[in-house]
A and B are shown apart, each in its own frame.
Chain A
């Protein structure tokens, strides 16, 4: 039956297998030129919530609980869950689904695992197209789970309307909290695993950080969560909803993030290729030998980039 319908017709009819295939197409073909997929409109009605935090901080579990909260609100929910690709082999183990079993039979939930395919920053190039596909498919809200982040992977903030940063007890002292980076991009700070020892202290430290220390974080909500139950994330969901109601990411900002992403990705791809070529090899050897330095060599390499 479905053989006779085109992918586009199946997508427009709301067939999830067609959405799944469109997402693959977006991932595999960064150049969508000439396809209807390239013409999917920018995200309009769909709300986007980013969840980021360290590996093992409970991002998938938290997303799983939030999905259930939003289902109770009657929203159709998408999840884009990112994990890292191996720099060596390009392979990836995508394990976020393991924590998202409760909603497997729910037709109002669509979960997709993505590898970052070499992109630093916590997401992949496919995030923008995937969001447009989710939006066109009629989903009301998408949760983006970044790869486990350290201190500098902040791309999600330029894509999501609201960014939630998870912190967990026992991950360092208050000096960690005065460092620049991922803390600055959070719209909401959440202490997950708040049933563990040290959670109260971390909450207190974060609250003093946002109220007394760092004016740029003023009014950033700090909430406790225990993501293993839906009830454990209700205070967080309330804060997210408050922010969603009053703030949406500027469409212009998302467009800028997208083009920036593609340019950097193209430069990185070409640079990888250049450095593998004989001339690149020689250049690196000359830097190593002190005949030139990397700062000078950069000009030569930038000059070798080709229009994509």
Chain B
């Protein structure tokens, strides 16, 4: 049975680690909401394990991670590993924030699908997620 045509894409916006700035995360959450997606926001100061738990329980299609603390090379691979370990390798994992260009490739190697730098137009992020969010049509019950 195919997924209902109108079923919205579900996205978790997570703020891993110890930076207290979530304006970016909230702007993205709002933009995705306005694009017709259901956006779950975790709030600040989440550990990788908390984000993995939320992503699994909420059964999101997409995990968006906003990080400004500089700890992305430590925290993001841990989140990807956790999500895969829970059997959710189908989830699209994207990141944004202050991530230096040199760090992008290591993150992609770790399984982050895409890194959006500062200044990325919101429409680009919306379009990317729409195109790449996994579809559950193959899911059989």
The answer to whether B86 touches A17, judged by C-beta atoms less than 8 angstroms apart, is yes
Interface range on chain A: under 10, 10 to 19, 20 to 34, or 35 or more?
35 or more
For residue B43, CB closer than 8 A to chain A, the reply is yes
The answer to whether A20 touches B56, judged by C-beta atoms less than 8 angstroms apart, is yes
Our pick among B36, B59, B88 for the contact of A90 (Cβ within 8 Å) is: B36
Q: Give chain A nearest CB distance to B99 CB in angstroms.
A: 24
Residues of A within 8 A of B34 (CB): 86, 89, 91
The answer to whether A20 touches B40, judged by C-beta atoms less than 8 angstroms apart, is no
For residue A7, CB closer than 8 A to chain B, the reply is yes
Q: Give chain B nearest CB distance to A203 CB in angstroms.
A: 31
A8 to B29, CA, bound (A): 33
Proximity bits, B15-37, A CB within 8 Å = 1, else 0: 00000000000000110111111
For residue B81, CB closer than 8 A to chain A, the reply is no
Q: Give chain B nearest CB distance to A137 CB in angstroms.
A: 12
Interface range on chain B: under 10, 10 to 19, 20 to 34, or 35 or more?
35 or more
Our pick among A17, A22, A89, A111 for the contact of B35 (Cβ within 8 Å) is: A89
Residues of A participating in the B interface, judged by any CB pair closer than 8 Å: 2, 6-8, 16-17, 20-25, 27-30, 34-37, 85-86, 89-95, 97-98, 101, 104-105, 110-113, 115
Other contacts beyond A16-B56, A97-B40, A98-B43: 14, CB < 8 A:
A20-B58, A22-B141, A28-B4, A35-B141, A86-B33, A89-B34, A90-B8, A90-B36, A91-B37, A91-B39, A95-B41, A98-B42, A104-B49, A105-B50
Residues of B participating in the A interface, judged by any CB pair closer than 8 Å: 1, 3-4, 6-8, 10, 29-30, 32-43, 49-50, 53-54, 56-59, 86-88, 136, 139-141
